[in-house]
Structure 1
């Protein structure tokens, strides 16, 4: 058996080169997605920011270029809540292959009332899950054209204690925003694992990998003006929390590793090392309810019906 010393350790500060590769990050203009984009840009890859807001995307691009000289980064308009627009967004990427998509964008509402998209879907479930499900369908040709491509889906610690209600996926009854958000993230996580099972069954080389970023606070996140500005007072007031959670720059590490690490396999879940809340990324055992293949398969069928898409990967 190989010794532990022979297993290469992942170093978040020394990422492998990725010149010639291309990565798309949804919601790459702010929050954790911004730092995923910044870190991947440092590898020499082409990084595409999927964002509804062109001005904010341009701010993010300027910030990345100021820290990564020669960064190859661009914006593509992307509104996950508008299912009919996604095919056009994928065409606008202007690439003939894609090495990875990071499903990162998300909406989290704190207060009622319940909101719907133009398609009539509950906003958080539509944006966080259905939009990414349909986007995967439209990206399938680009990902299939790239041997070993990866689909990285961002879950949440909030989903650990939640369960799906398959009879009310859109929270039409007893709408509670925090619960609806947690269930939308659980749907994403079940989708990622069901997608990997389908990829394996199709003998595809594309991998579906699951990540969750742990606990991330703005006050522990380094400034990237004008994308994010942290005052000294904010930093000092929240320093004790740094023992438990982390900034969004560190919360990006699981997704970056999921994109780049050759040792990552389909169906893996990566999370922060310390209690799933902070620290360097590790491969974590799946939570028990994520192994529920029956629920995942039923969710897949419902998602196909709600989006009019069915992500399939055939060579």
Structure 2
């Protein structure tokens, strides 16, 4: 290879991914569910810093307003909007695409999630177990409603935020609503497992359809409130909470860092559909890296049965 050709090849190589300096994204629109709090807030904040238009999807307008004010205190020119979403009420999602008032959507980050500690089993307005209904079925139906807008983008992305706790669980396909022997922590882990299985199944279906949309699955590792930077009116912590969290910082991280895999999945052109991204150090902390997909998450037979059940329970199906 000539010296000029070698120089040309070197000039087009992308720079290493820098979590503190993600690439600019002016002109793109990204919807982040649960973008008003927790990891979702930091996903929204970091994406807003790239110049993208970020839509915070959540039920509470006041909390969305507080989150947007916090983001603008760091990025005064941020392009932000609020979209009212109630993942516990599937009928409320029917008009979400129209409410976006956009001709395309470059990415959606399926981040919102609930974790119940109480032993009492709860149900959504549609009669689904609370965590399974919101974390999985709500996002499944939302993706179906947004499919035309994602397909209209040059390279739309569906980014599913899973959890490492899902890797140790198995779905009970005969009792997805946890009516037998309900345990809240197990129900949560299974709801996140369902999300991740559906994310990989979605990518297989996108590839089969020849779609330009990608489906990527991420997880934040161990992300604690006590290690999370303060954001007035969004996240505050006492001095005691900060001190108690310091020892855990050797193993896990805060929610600002927990947002890094999802942000990379949205913006990095080298990320491909069907991949799993999480923190570098034991999957618990550190910069994002690609992880091998565990057999449990790659089980096509289970994913196909879950997809069929989700289609029946929601009455819709993501189709591209």
The answer to whether structure 1 residue 258 and structure 2 residue 265 are counterparts is yes
For the residues of structure 2 that align with 1:128 and 1:27, how far apart are their CA atoms?
Answer: 11
Q: CA RMSD in A?
A: 1.2
Cα offset for 1:232? 2.6
* Aligned positions, number: 310
TM-score of the aligned structures, taking structure 2 as reference length = 0.95
The answer to whether structure 1 residue 132 and structure 2 residue 149 are counterparts is no
Query: Per-residue CA shift, 1:102-155, capped at 9, x if unaligned?
Result: 000001011221101111111100000000000000000000000211000011
Match of 2:162 among 137, 155, 160: 155
Match of 2:246 among 239, 249, 270: 239
Listed as ranges, the matches of 1:48-197 within 5 Å are 48-197=55-204
User: Which has the greater radius of gyration?
Assistant: 2
For the residues of structure 2 that align with 1:146 and 1:218, how far apart are their CA atoms?
Answer: 35
TM-score of the aligned structures, taking structure 1 as reference length = 0.97
Match of 1:26 among 33, 40, 43: 33
For the residues of structure 1 that align with 2:247 and 2:180, how far apart are their CA atoms?
Answer: 40
Query: Per-residue CA shift, 1:149-190, capped at 9, x if unaligned?
Result: 100001101101000010001101110110010000000000
For the residues of structure 2 that align with 1:285 and 1:164, how far apart are their CA atoms?
Answer: 20
Residue pair 2:136, 2:192 contacting (<8 A) in 1 also: yes
For the residues of structure 2 that align with 1:163 and 1:109, how far apart are their CA atoms?
Answer: 19
SS in 1 for 2:194: helix
- Return 5+ residue gaps in structure 1 as ranges: none
Partner of 1:294: 301
SS in 2 for 1:279: strand
Runs of 4+ with >3 A deviation: none
Cα offset for 1:257? 0.2
Query: Per-residue CA shift, 1:39-86, capped at 9, x if unaligned?
Result: 000000100000011110000000000011200011010000100010
For the residues of structure 2 that align with 1:89 and 1:225, how far apart are their CA atoms?
Answer: 29
